[in-house]
Structure 1
Amino acid sequence: MTYTGWILLTASLVGVSCGIVGVFLILRRVAMMADAISHTVLLGIVMAYIVTQSLSGIHMLIGSVISGILTTYLVQWFHSKGVQQDASIGVVFTTLFAIGVILIATNVGNAHLDVQHALMGEITFVPWNIIHVPILGEIPLATFMLSCILLLVILVIGLFYKEWKITTFDPALAASIGIPVLAMHYLFMTLVSVTTVAAFDAVGAIMVVAMLITPAAAAYLWTDKLLVMMGLSSMFGIISAIGGYYFALWIDTSISGSMAFATGGIFFISFLLSPKHGMLSNWLRPGTKGQDPRPTLPRN
């Protein structure tokens, strides 16, 4: 595969995996947890480097996942103590991210680890970090990791699909019939953490947040069926990856930033033109003036 092909494939894998997970973030109304986790994993990366003095290896993934899970537990703990959830996210997110930034500035020294890299990623370097995989041959490490994460996301969502639906739409009913709602919440947030970490180094925090939230929010405007919403969200992620890449080449700018910008463009088009909930559609349809344009929750 060509250099461009590997970049587009890697970005598309981010779009699909984040698009599927992002649907449940939107429906559970915890979208900003994506922003929190995508930034606080920086603390896990820095701590792993300080302990091992190495920027490669499984310890970076382990440190990042632990940091993401810690974020989830702290947010849930503050919320259980009476702090509003958005305030809990804001406090935990800013504090842990600030600790990571301070540690970078004081302890990392001359290592190639900086805030700019954490925010914007280095997707242009993805094709150069190669590993050998049996049967598949030599492929970029980021592409291999994201492929594994996508399979994991599909597996976990598929195995517990009914549980995800009922805990998302009616947690009280789920608890009454014996589904462990809190355990499912932590399992889902762990999945969000793992997905975020896998994409973090290649595409940076900005694109991770964009891919987790915006394609799912756009898909929410087009359908009220859960499976269709997941498919649309994944498709919007792929379109954003490909369109953003060529837009970045055209104006000679950041690839990850352009891909994130493309997700916003897709949402804006959806907000205007979606047949049921778009502003233009509501304006043209007779008898809809004054009605609430917000979509209802997906049915299935």
Structure 2
Amino acid sequence: MSMGLTIMVTGALVAASCGFLGCFLILRRMAMLGDAISHAVLPGIVIAFLISGSRDSLPMLLGAAAFGLLCTFFIQSLRSQGVQSDAAISVTFTALFAIGVILVSLYTRQVDLDLDCVLYGEIAYVPWDTLSLFGHNIGPKAIWGVGTAFLLSLLIVGLFFKEFKIVSFDPQMAAALGIPVLLIHYLLMGLVSVTTVASFESVGAILVVAMLTVPSATAYLLTDRLETMLAISVGAGILSSLFGYWLALVFDASIAGSMTVAAGTFFLLAFLFSPLHGVVTRWLIRRRLRTATAVDHR
């Protein structure tokens, strides 16, 4: 697999897996959860380093994933006590990030340990970070990691799609029907944590946070059906990765940044021209109605 194709496949997998789960976050008004997790995992990284004494990827990722789940637990606990979602997210990730900063300053002053060097990756380096099995090179680590997370999300959401759908739209009705709302919530939050942490190391936080929100927001403007929204979000994310990589080659710019710009471009087009909610579309409809009304009055 060529270097360019590896980068595009990795970007497409990240976009598809993040966009798929991002639809449920958009519906639950928790779109910035990925950004919260990206900050909240710092104490997990430091604790994993202190326990293992190593900066290897596996213990760091395990520590990060554990604190990603802890972050979602704290957010849900605050929400259940009546705190607004945005406030719960802000309080939780700032508190956990501050704890991580204190741990870094106290215990790792002589070690180059921070989010940039440990967890935040660069998608351009993906082709060189490969995985070996029984002495054989089986391909880039990022493709295996993100691909596994995506398949896990597809499997769990597919098995419990009805429950995920009802809980996302109407938690009260879901509880009345006997659906374990809290369990479904933590299943979703666990999938989000695993997917974001698996993606951070390879492609960086900016691309992950963008793909969790922008393709799903684009799909939200284009359809009112969840099944269609999931498909559009995955497709928009993949197209953003491919178009973004082309932009990066043309302008010799950051690949992750270009993919994010491409995703934003698709969102802008949907915002302006969506058949359901597009600004230009609604303006044209109002103009036609005014014209029709004026003709009738004549």
Tell me what 2:79 maps to: 79
Cα distance in structure 2, aligned partners of 1:190 and 1:88? 17
Cα distance in structure 2, aligned partners of 1:31 and 1:240? 19
| Shift, 1:259, TM fit | 1.5
Cα distance in structure 2, aligned partners of 1:236 and 1:270? 11
Counterpart AA for 1:131: L
Tell me what 2:33 maps to: 33
Q: Which structure 1 residue ranges, 4+ long, deviate > 3 Å from structure 2? A: 101-120, 286-290
Tell me what 1:297 maps to: none
Q: Secondary structure at the match of 1:138?
A: strand
Q: Which sits farther off after the overlay, 204-213 or 40-49?
A: 40-49
- Is the CA contact 2:240–2:263 (under 8 Å) kept in the aligned structure 1? yes
Tell me what 2:243 maps to: 243
Cα distance in structure 2, aligned partners of 1:157 and 1:46? 32
The CA deviation string for residues 104-127 of structure 1, in whole angstroms up to 9 with x for no partner, is 455445655434457863111111
Q: Which runs of 5+ in 2 are unaligned?
A: 291-298
In the alignment, structure 1 residue 54 sits paired with structure 2 residue 54: yes
Tell me what 2:255 maps to: 255
| Shift, 1:275, TM fit | 1.6
Tell me what 1:200 maps to: 200
- Is the CA contact 1:207–1:260 (under 8 Å) kept in the aligned structure 2? yes
Tell me what 1:93 maps to: 93
The CA deviation string for residues 251-277 of structure 1, in whole angstroms up to 9 with x for no partner, is 233221222222111111110111221
Q: Which runs of 5+ in 1 are unaligned?
A: 291-300
Cα distance in structure 1, aligned partners of 2:137 and 2:106? 40
The CA deviation string for residues 190-217 of structure 1, in whole angstroms up to 9 with x for no partner, is 1110011110111111111100011000
Q: Secondary structure at the match of 1:285?
A: helix
Cα distance in structure 2, aligned partners of 1:202 and 1:103? 24
Cα distance in structure 1, aligned partners of 2:64 and 2:276? 40
Tell me what 1:188 maps to: 188
Counterpart AA for 1:42: L
- Is the CA contact 1:120–1:256 (under 8 Å) kept in the aligned structure 2? no
| Shift, 1:65, TM fit | 1.4
Tell me what 2:165 maps to: 165
Counterpart AA for 2:23: V
Cα distance in structure 1, aligned partners of 2:142 and 2:106? 28
Structure-to-structure mapping, 1:130-169, within 5 angstroms: 130-133=130-133, 138-169=138-169
User: Which structure has the greater CA radius of gyration?
Assistant: 2
Q: Which sits farther off after the overlay, 15-24 or 52-61?
A: 52-61
- Residues 268 and 171 from structure 1, CA distance in 2 versus in 1: closer, same or farther, beyond 3 angstroms? same
Cα distance in structure 2, aligned partners of 1:121 and 1:89? 24
Percent identity of paired positions between Structure 1 and Structure 2: 49
Q: Secondary structure at the match of 1:131?
A: strand
| Shift, 1:43, TM fit | 2.8
Q: Secondary structure at the match of 1:221?
A: helix
Counterpart AA for 2:277: H
State the Cα RMSD in Å. Answer: 2.3
Cα distance in structure 1, aligned partners of 2:12 and 2:257? 15
- Residues 25 and 184 from structure 1, CA distance in 2 versus in 1: closer, same or farther, beyond 3 angstroms? same
- Residues 117 and 245 from structure 1, CA distance in 2 versus in 1: closer, same or farther, beyond 3 angstroms? farther
Tell me what 1:23 maps to: 23
Cα distance in structure 2, aligned partners of 1:182 and 1:276? 32
Counterpart AA for 1:129: D
| Shift, 1:147, TM fit | 1.0
- Residues 259 and 289 from structure 1, CA distance in 2 versus in 1: closer, same or farther, beyond 3 angstroms? farther
Counterpart AA for 2:153: V
Name the count of aligned residue pairs.
289
TM-score (norm 1): 0.89
Q: Which sits farther off after the overlay, 195-204 or 108-117?
A: 108-117
- Is the CA contact 2:119–2:201 (under 8 Å) kept in the aligned structure 1? no
Tell me what 1:215 maps to: 215
Structure-to-structure mapping, 1:228-239, within 5 angstroms: 228-239=228-239
Counterpart AA for 1:35: D
Tell me what 1:295 maps to: none
TM-score (norm 2): 0.89
- Residues 133 and 231 from structure 1, CA distance in 2 versus in 1: closer, same or farther, beyond 3 angstroms? farther
- Is the CA contact 2:60–2:118 (under 8 Å) kept in the aligned structure 1? no
Cα distance in structure 1, aligned partners of 2:159 and 2:118? 33
The CA deviation string for residues 144-193 of structure 1, in whole angstroms up to 9 with x for no partner, is 11111111010011000010111111111111121110111111101110
| Shift, 1:54, TM fit | 1.9
Cα distance in structure 1, aligned partners of 2:82 and 2:214? 29
Q: Which sits farther off after the overlay, 117-126 or 207-216?
A: 117-126
Cα distance in structure 2, aligned partners of 1:256 and 1:112? 24
